[in-house]
Amino acid sequence: GESVGLHLPTLSVQEGDNSIINCAYSNSASDYFIWYKQESGKGPQFIIDIRSNMDKRQGQRVTVLLNKTVKHLSLQIAATQPGDSAVYFCAERSHGSSNTGKLIFGQGTTLQVKP
Amino acid sequence: EAQVTQNPRYLITVTGKKLTVTCSQNMNHEYMSWYRQDPGLGLRQIYYSMNVEVTDKGDVPEGYKVSRKEKRNFPLILESPSPNQTSLYFCASSLGGGAVEHFGDGTRLSIL
């Protein structure tokens, strides 16, 4: 039979608008979260992080919100620019049986910025 | 400049021909790991290393080997590559397990 590739969710925004990218995480015991940006042909790059004892953290043009009640993380990008076009994904830190920390990555969201 | 360097960036090879992808970091990080990235499956960890001579399996270790003889280097070895190992591979390093990982720019492997 024919195989169909899975496509990442895509968010398309107008240049200058604000973007909100969402992520649902899986483990209520996760204590640390990171947002990464991956541009075409490059590896993921760190954007911002947040610990589970916080609800909000701001960086330059980016804000991360954490809602532990519903296990939801969001990344807000203010005044989105063409250079923000990339795949964004979240990572949560879980701990294995040996208490070794490990990052678990989400599937990612493609952000397209229209000029 | 702090970086993780992978080589080669692209490789097309045939089934069964052993290959090694090198990875080097200049940040004196103790933790290093290898991931593969496939459409719809995201980043999956292959192997990781907590320190020199300490390596352990990640989520998808079958068909791969690694070694950590020096702190800065963490090569990924495919002893007998098969087509299902065609993928985009990333090496990463960090201060420790669960800390922010710094990624290389990836190696795209095609196994025919």
> Rounded to an integer, what distance in angstroms lies between the CA atom of residue A62 and that of residue A86?
14
First-last CA distance in chain B: 36
Q: List the beta bridge partners of residue A50.
A: A33
The distance from CA B105 to its chain's CA centroid, rounded to whole angstroms, is 11
Predicted confidence at residue A7, as pLDDT, reads 57
What does the pLDDT look like over A34-73, one tens digit per residue?
A: 999 999 999 999 999 999 999 999 999 999 999 999 999 9
- Residue-level pLDDT at B55: 95
Give residue A102's pLDDT: 85
What does the alpha-carbon distance between residue B70 and residue B93 come to, in Å, rounded to a whole number?
A: 13
Q: What is the pLDDT of residue A4?
A: 38
Residue with tokens 């069964």: B16
pLDDT at res. B2: 85
Q: Does B99 touch chain A (CB under 8 A)?
A: yes
Cβ of B74: how many Cβ atoms within 10 Å?
30
Six-digit token string for B102: 């710094």
Residue-averaged pLDDT of chain B: 95
d(CA A88, CA B17): 35
How confident is the model at residue A33, as a pLDDT?
A: 95
pLDDT at A98: 56
Mean pLDDT of the region A65-90: 95
For residue B97, list chain A residues with Cβ-Cβ distance below 8 A. 100-102
Chain B residues with CB under 8 Å of A46 CB are 100, 102
Mean pLDDT of chain A: 89
Test A34 with B90 for CB contact under 8 angstroms: no
Contact B106 A89 (CB under 8 A): no
Name the residue in chain B with its Cα closest to that of A31: B98
A26 pLDDT tier (thresholds 50, 70, 90): confident
pLDDT digits (tens, 9 = 90+) for B21-31: 999 999 999 99
Strands (E), chain B: 4-7, 10-13, 19-25, 31-38, 42-51, 54-57, 65-66, 76-78, 87-94, 102-103, 107-111
* Interface contact B90, partner A, CB < 8 A: yes
Strand B76-78 versus strand B65-66 pairing type: antiparallel
Residue B40 is predicted with a pLDDT of 82
Quickly tell me which residue has 């003889």 as its tokens: B69
Instruction: State the amino acid at position B99 in one-letter form.
Output: A
User: Which member of B4, B98, B101 has the closest CB to residue A32?
Assistant: B98
Tell me, what's the pLDDT at A96? 63
Count Cβ–Cβ pairs < 8 Å, chain A vs chain B: 51
Cα–Cα nearest to B86, from B4, B11, B8: B11
Could you tell me if A86 and A58 are in contact, meaning their C-beta atoms sit under 8 angstroms apart? no
pLDDT band at B39 (very low <50, low <70, confident <90, very high): confident
Tell me, what's the pLDDT at A5? 40
